[in-house]
């Protein structure tokens, strides 16, 4: 089940944006992100299709495959086929948040019709030593830490570091409702996926928020992890400091939407 | 499921219509979603219910209120009467779609309040199910306030919109919610089932008000996953099968 939104003057040479379910939220997206985005993009001349993966929202659960990754690949491929046949568009930008970002990247690799990917708050292995440093620094510079310092109760390093250990991370993933959605994409696998997509001239926009701070907490973290890829002209990455995982605050959402609009208009101009 | 848009084009509503499977009971059921975060959480359970009702021979229409889901508009334009009007439009759409003998309404949480307020004013809704109802605008507002962006104040300045997660709620809407209390003393509702997936005491106030209004009602206590509740694991908790099965039986038996 999906909803097709098209501009008044549909240009079949421009790619259509296909929005993939975020977690178990149906096609409208978290806090209606996909519905709002579809309408804004239609105003910019981009058609879009927001749809429910099988077993989510109003789409039936698949019975022909048992492996989740295979099912998602077939779902995305079916969505692109449908839009191609109905609307004559044969180039696509896949867009997804959280598990949707994961699914967008993996689906793009196997489908040459995909010419762009917008991956928002992708859950991948991103923590590096700088992440730990930022984390520790932030805790040391926080008000409670100074209060403790001024009152002689100096925090011990192990207590500062403990929040970066794997157990609290799992707890935070669970608290965010991420447990059981998708495992974090290993760093090496992500590098391979991005490289393959860039090699075939796919444009990539990666947006990270502060919502998954346990994994991503500063703006240069992507280029620290992937210095060569980050310099590629077809790859753009943004960090929305202070934004939550589902872009709940209006200004954060507006910033993300603006970022996507600009990226689309520059990369896929008429 | 057949997707459709209905209502005025500029204010069109998205509907999901499940036609009857097997014998057509000529029974229509509208399903009124909860609002705010509960809408997202309960979507699958409402869909499950709609399918089971269709399998039992009912014509079922679920729909997104104006400014929500796939329907037109933004929350900044919404008023409470808009949503009540949407429920009426859904009943009329279903009556246009099928040659019905009777119509029932199922409302979950604040959807129950909207369904009850409309059932109070129409004589073509023959049965009402209030599933874990919130029967006051204040109660709904409390739920919406849980959507406040962290760090933002719940205090509102007159004339300024009220910001919740990614959406602005107009002042008039919030004010109208504060004053909204369906089921006044002279309410006239069809036979009503109150379905609780929580404790026996959770809806004493609702039951008292319904009893005071002299409405033919029954209470079913079927503890199960509170699909709308933020504390539930949305991925693994499943749907309250026992409660939903009873709703289907109660509606179709009467038809």
Q: How do B2-6 and B13-18 pair as beta strands? A: antiparallel
Contact of B102 with B26, CB cutoff 8 Å: yes
> Chain A: residue nearest B147 by CA?
A248
Most confident of A189-193, B35-39, B169-173: A189-193
Cα angle A76, A5, B61 (rounded to 5 degrees) comes to 85
What is the residue-averaged pLDDT of chain A?
87
CA–CA distance from B127 to each of B52, B69, B210, B217, B255 (Å)?
17, 26, 14, 10, 9
Cα separation, A198 vs B209, in Å, equals 64
pLDDT at A213: 86
Question: Nearest Cβ partner of B166 from A26, A58, A250?
Answer: A250
Q: Which tokens sit at B251?
A: 């509606």
Distance from CA of A246 to the nearest CA of B (A): 9
Cα separation, A228 vs A121, in Å, equals 21
Residue A114: strand, helix, or coil = strand
Which one-letter DSSP state was computed for residue B122?
-
The reply to whether residue A249 touches residue B236, judged by beta carbons under 8 angstroms, is no
pLDDT at B242: 93
Q: Which tokens sit at B62?
A: 């679920």
Q: How many residues does chain B have?
A: 255
pLDDT 10s digits, A227-270: 999 999 999 999 999 898 988 888 889 999 999 999 999 999 87
pLDDT surpassing 90 at residue A119: yes
pLDDT 10s digits, B119-132: 999 999 999 999 99
Span B40-48, average pLDDT:
93
The reply to whether residue B166 touches residue A249, judged by beta carbons under 8 angstroms, is yes
Cα separation, B13 vs B66, in Å, equals 6
pTM (whole model) above 0.90? no
Q: What distance lies between CA B226 and its chain's CA centroid?
A: 15
pLDDT at A179: 47
pLDDT band for B182, please (50, 70, 90 cuts): confident
Question: Nearest Cβ partner of B70 from A3, A33, A250?
Answer: A3
Cα separation, B14 vs B1, in Å, equals 13
The reply to whether residue B166 touches residue A24, judged by beta carbons under 8 angstroms, is no
> Chain B: residue nearest A249 by CA?
B166
pLDDT band for B245, please (50, 70, 90 cuts): very high
Q: Is A259 on the interface with B (CB under 8 A)?
A: no
Question: Nearest Cβ partner of A250 from B1, B3, B168?
Answer: B168
pLDDT at B176: 79
By a Cβ cutoff of 8 Å, what residues of chain B touch chain A? 1, 3, 14, 16, 40, 43-44, 47, 64, 68-70, 74, 147, 149-150, 152, 163, 165-168, 233-236
Span A33-55, average pLDDT:
95
pLDDT surpassing 90 at residue A83: yes
Most confident of A109-118, A174-183, B115-124, B201-210: A109-118
Question: Nearest Cβ partner of A250 from B163, B233, B235?
Answer: B163
The reply to whether residue A180 touches residue B168, judged by beta carbons under 8 angstroms, is no
The reply to whether residue B16 touches residue A27, judged by beta carbons under 8 angstroms, is no
Q: Is A27 on the interface with B (CB under 8 A)?
A: yes
Q: Is A250 on the interface with B (CB under 8 A)?
A: yes
Share of chain A above pLDDT 90, in %: 60
pLDDT 10s digits, A179-194: 446 788 999 999 999 9
Contact of B61 with B15, CB cutoff 8 Å: yes
pLDDT 10s digits, A158-172: 555 555 444 455 555
pLDDT at A171: 53
**Chain B interface disruption, residue of A22, A35, A182, most B CBs within 10 A:** A35
pLDDT at B131: 95
Contact of B224 with B195, CB cutoff 8 Å: no
Phi and psi (nearest 5°) for A177?
Answer: 75, 20
Question: Nearest Cβ partner of A180 from B68, B70, B236?
Answer: B236
**Chain B interface disruption, residue of A31, A53, A181, A213, most B CBs within 10 A:** A31
pLDDT band for A154, please (50, 70, 90 cuts): low
pLDDT at B160: 57
CA–CA distance from A227 to each of A204, A230, A231, A232 (Å)?
15, 5, 7, 9
Does the predicted interface ipTM exceed a cut of 0.90? no
Alpha helices in B34-160, H assignment, sequence order = 37-55, 80-97, 110-119, 137-145
pLDDT surpassing 50 at residue A80: yes
Share of chain B above pLDDT 70, in %: 87
């Amino acid at each position: 089940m999906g909803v097709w939104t098209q501009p008044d003057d549909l240009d079949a040479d421009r790619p259509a944006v296909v929005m993939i379910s975020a977690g178990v939220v149906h096609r409208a997206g978290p806090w209606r992100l996909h519905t709002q985005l579809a309408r804004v993009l239609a105003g910019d001349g981009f058609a879009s299709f927001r749809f429910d993966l099988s077993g989510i929202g109003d789409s039936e659960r698949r019975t022909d495959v048992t492996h989740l990754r295979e099912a998602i690949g077939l779902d995305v491929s079916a969505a692109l086929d449908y839009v191609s046949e109905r609307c004559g568009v044969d180039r696509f930008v896949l867009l997804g948040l959280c598990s949707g970002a994961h699914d967008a990247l993996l689906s793009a690799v196997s489908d040459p019709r995909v010419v762009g990917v917008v991956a928002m708050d992708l859950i991948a292995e991103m923590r590096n030593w700088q992440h730990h440093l930022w984390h520790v620094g932030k805790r040391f510079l926080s008000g409670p830490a100074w209060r403790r310092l001024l009152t002689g109760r100096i925090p011990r390093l192990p207590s500062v570091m403990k929040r970066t250990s794997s157990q609290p991370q799992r707890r935070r993933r669970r608290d965010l409702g991420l447990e059981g959605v998708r495992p974090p994409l290993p760093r090496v696998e992500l590098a391979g996926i991005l490289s393959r997509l860039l090699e075939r001239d796919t444009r990539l926009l990666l947006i990270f928020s502060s919502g998954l701070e346990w994994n991503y907490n500063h703006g240069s973290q992507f280029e620290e992890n992937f210095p060569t890829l980050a310099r590629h002209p077809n790859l753009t990455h943004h960090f929305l400091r202070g934004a939550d995982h589902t872009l709940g605050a209006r200004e954060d959402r507006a910033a993300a939407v603006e970022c996507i609009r600009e990226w689309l208009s520059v990369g896929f101009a008429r | 499921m057949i997707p459709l848009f209905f209502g005025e084009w500029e204010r069109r509503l998205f509907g999901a219509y499940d036609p009857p499977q097997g014998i057509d009971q000529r029974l229509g059921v509208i399903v009124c979603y909860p609002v705010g975060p509960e809408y997202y959480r309960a979507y699958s359970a409402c869909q499950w219910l709609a399918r089971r009702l269709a399998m039992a021979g009912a014509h079922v229409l679920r729909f997104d209120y104006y400014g929500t889901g796939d329907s037109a508009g933004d929350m900044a334009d919404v008023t409470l009467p808009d949503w009540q009007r949407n429920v009426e439009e859904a009943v009329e759409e279903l009556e246009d779609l099928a040659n019905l003998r009777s119509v029932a309404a199922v409302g979950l949480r604040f959807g129950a309040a909207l369904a009850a307020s409309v059932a109070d004013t129409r004589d073509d809704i023959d049965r009402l199910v209030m599933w874990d109802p919130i029967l006051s605008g204040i109660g709904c507002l409390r739920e919406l306030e849980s959507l406040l962006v962290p760090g933002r104040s719940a205090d509102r300045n007159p004339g300024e919109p009220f910001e919740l997660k990614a959406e602005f709620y107009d002042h008039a809407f919030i004010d109208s919610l504060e004053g909204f209390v369906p089921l006044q003393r002279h309410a006239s509702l069809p036979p009503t089932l109150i379905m609780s997936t929580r404790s026996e005491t959770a809806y004493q106030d609702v039951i008292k008000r319904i009893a005071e209004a002299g409405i033919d009602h029954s209470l079913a206590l079927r503890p199960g996953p509170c699909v709308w509740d933020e504390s539930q694991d949305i991925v693994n908790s499943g749907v309250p099968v026992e409660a939903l099965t009873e709703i289907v039986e109660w509606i179709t038996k009467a038809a």
